Structure 1
Amino acid sequence: MTVNELLDQHSNSWNVNLVRQLFSDEDIELILNTKILPSRTDFRVWGCSKSGSYDSKSGYKLIETLNTVRTGNQVVLPPIEKQLWSNLWKAKTSPKLRHFLWRVLSGALAVKSQLQSRGIQLDPICPVCHQEPETICHMLFQCPSSREVWETSQFPLPPAGWSPNSVFLNLHYLISCSQKQSIGTSVRLSFPWVLWQIWKARNKFCFEQIIPVAGDIVFKAREETSIWLNLHGYLQKCSNVLPIAPSSERKWSSPPLSILKCNIGVSWSSASMYCGAGWIIRNSVGKVLLHSRRSFSGVRSPIQAGLLAITWATTSVKEHKLRNVQFEFSSSEAADALNNPLDFPLVYAECYKALGSVYSLPKSSIALVHGTCNKAASAIADSVISGQRFHSYVSSGGPRWLAMMLDEEATSS
Structure 2
Amino acid sequence: MLRANQDAVEWFKAQVVEEKLLSETQVNIQKRKEKWKPPPKDWSMCTVGFDWNKSKNLAGGGWVIRNERGVVLCHSRRAFSNIQSRDQAKLMVILWALESMESHIMSHIIIAGELCEMFGAVERPQAWPSFLHFAGEIGISMARIVGCKLQVVSREANRGASFIAESFTKQGMVRSYVQTGYPPWLFEFFVNESRYL
TM-score range, shorter chain: 0.7 to 0.9
**For the Cα contact (< 8 Å) 2:57–2:84, is it kept in 1?**
yes
* Letter of the 2:161 counterpart: A
Q: Distance in 2 between matches of 1:256 and 1:336?
A: 21
* Letter of the 1:293 counterpart: R
The 5-angstrom pairing of residues 2-401 of structure 1 reads 250-338=34-122, 339-340=124-125, 342-344=129-131, 348=133, 350-401=134-185
- Deviation, structure 1 residue 383: 0.6
Q: Which has the larger radius of gyration?
A: 1
* Letter of the 2:149 counterpart: S
| Alpha carbons of structure 1 residues 270 and 392: separation in structure 2 relative to 1, 3 Å | same
Q: Distance in 2 between matches of 1:296 and 1:400?
A: 23
**For the Cα contact (< 8 Å) 1:261–1:283, is it kept in 2?**
yes
* Letter of the 1:318 counterpart: E
Q: Distance in 1 between matches of 2:33 and 2:68?
A: 17
**For the Cα contact (< 8 Å) 2:50–2:162, is it kept in 1?**
yes
- Deviation, structure 1 residue 351: 3.2
Q: Could you say what secondary structure the match of 2:178 adopts? A: strand
- Deviation, structure 1 residue 373: 0.8
Unaligned runs of 5+ in 1: 1-247
Superposed CA offset, 1:157-181 (max 9, x none): xxxxxxxxxxxxxxxxxxxxxxxxx
- Give aligned-pair identity as a percent: 31
* Letter of the 1:255 counterpart: P
Q: Could you say what secondary structure the match of 1:315 adopts? A: helix
**For the Cα contact (< 8 Å) 1:261–1:281, is it kept in 2?**
yes
In structure 1, the partner of 2:186 is: 402
Unaligned runs of 5+ in 2: 1-31
**For the Cα contact (< 8 Å) 1:308–1:354, is it kept in 2?**
no
- Deviation, structure 1 residue 390: 2.6
| Alpha carbons of structure 1 residues 326 and 336: separation in structure 2 relative to 1, 3 Å | closer
Larger strand share, 1 or 2: 2
- What TM-score comes out, normalization by structure 2 length? 0.76
Q: Could you say what secondary structure the match of 2:37 adopts? A: coil
**For the Cα contact (< 8 Å) 1:255–1:284, is it kept in 2?**
yes
Superposed CA offset, 1:107-154 (max 9, x none): xxxxxxxxxxxxxxxxxxxxxxxxxxxxxxxxxxxxxxxxxxxxxxxx
In structure 2, the partner of 1:166 is: none
**For the Cα contact (< 8 Å) 1:306–1:333, is it kept in 2?**
no
Q: Could you say what secondary structure the match of 2:175 adopts? A: coil
- Deviation, structure 1 residue 354: 1.6
- Deviation, structure 1 residue 291: 0.3
- Deviation, structure 1 residue 360: 2.3
Q: Could you say what secondary structure the match of 2:94 adopts? A: helix
- Deviation, structure 1 residue 337: 4.7
| Alpha carbons of structure 1 residues 322 and 336: separation in structure 2 relative to 1, 3 Å | closer
Q: Could you say what secondary structure the match of 2:45 adopts? A: strand
**For the Cα contact (< 8 Å) 1:260–1:283, is it kept in 2?**
yes
* Letter of the 1:328 counterpart: A
How many aligned residue pairs are there? 163
Q: Distance in 1 between matches of 2:54 and 2:120?
A: 20
**For the Cα contact (< 8 Å) 2:59–2:79, is it kept in 1?**
yes
Q: Could you say what secondary structure the match of 1:276 adopts? A: strand
Q: Could you say what secondary structure the match of 1:374 adopts? A: helix
Q: Distance in 1 between matches of 2:109 and 2:37?
A: 14
Q: Distance in 1 between matches of 2:76 and 2:186?
A: 13
**For the Cα contact (< 8 Å) 1:358–1:366, is it kept in 2?**
no
Superposed CA offset, 1:253-277 (max 9, x none): 1122221111000000110110100
